[in-house]
Amino acid sequence: TNFHAKLARHGQEFHTILGNSIALRKLGGAGFHTEYLARLVWQMLSRNAVLSRIETLWNTEALVLGAVRMVDIKVMVASFPGLFGTEEGDALVDFCRRNQLPLLWGLGDGQQVSQRTREQWMLPPFGFPKVEAGRARLLDPSMVDLTNGTAATPEALAQWKSIDAEVRAFRATKDPDQIQMFDWWNSLNETKMTVPPLRGGDCSDSDLCFGVESSTNKCICRNNPDAEEHTAIVV
């Protein structure tokens, strides 16, 4: 999610959302692009919204466009089914640590892209099964110090490490299926590291905040990278 607004790109997020709506219509979906625009707004605002699998490819929150620095982004969201417990996931965690960028894990539909069937990629309203929009994410415990969030308890850390080891051992033999991913996800939810996505009215300042901490119901935000830059210059 962009933190620093870019000059000459004012409102670029809205242009992206409208472009997504037009693209869905051109791909052969039913209805006018204005209907898709209304659908996208519903998915962003309603806590009861659902989406078709293909619509996860139009997640504007996850797209970083143009020339950006890591201080321009307030949070990184990684695929739990695709990256958790893998070497690529470890590399991403290391990258986020080095750039002091908080990392959230997102469940999505619990499947890797290669596991989805053709029917699941059909355009709305034909795609099935539906997926809950705006699911809570999991803040990686190693990233809490990069935010104003509450540190995980020793018990929560032990449980996280246990599930992490279990995932790695399983992946060494075969790819986990959707049911297995949901089981691990539900176990990690018990660590109280869940962060529902930010919605209108949740926080007074959304520049650096990216969700609401479930354990305390307070806004959770990235530490101000500008302040860190200024401190580094002074030192």
Sequence spans of domains, the chain:
70-224
pTM: 0.79
pLDDT tier, 39 (very low <50, low <70, confident <90, very high otherwise)? confident
Please list the alpha-helical segments (H only) found in 119-171. Answer: 154-171
pLDDT tier, 5 (very low <50, low <70, confident <90, very high otherwise)? very low
Angle between the N-to-C axes of helices 33-45 and 12-26, in degrees from 0 to 180, rounded to the nearest 10: 130
My answer on whether omega of the bond before 141 falls inside 30° of 0, hence cis, is no
Rounded to whole angstroms, the Cα distance separating 196 from 181 reads 19
Work out whether the CA dihedral 10, 16, 18, 22 comes out positive or negative: positive
Mean pLDDT of the chain, nearest integer:
80
pLDDT at 44 over 80: no
Tens of pLDDT, residues 155-196 = 999 999 999 999 999 999 999 998 999 999 999 999 999 999
**In degrees to the nearest 10, what's the CA dihedral of 235, 143, 44, 59?**
90
Tokens of 216: 């305390």
Distances (CA, A) of 231 to 176, 204, 207, 224, 226: 45, 26, 20, 11, 9
pLDDT at residue 226 in the model:
82
Amino acid sitting at position 58: W
Please state the rounded mean pLDDT for residues 217-231.
79
Rounded to whole angstroms, the Cα distance separating 115 from 216 reads 36
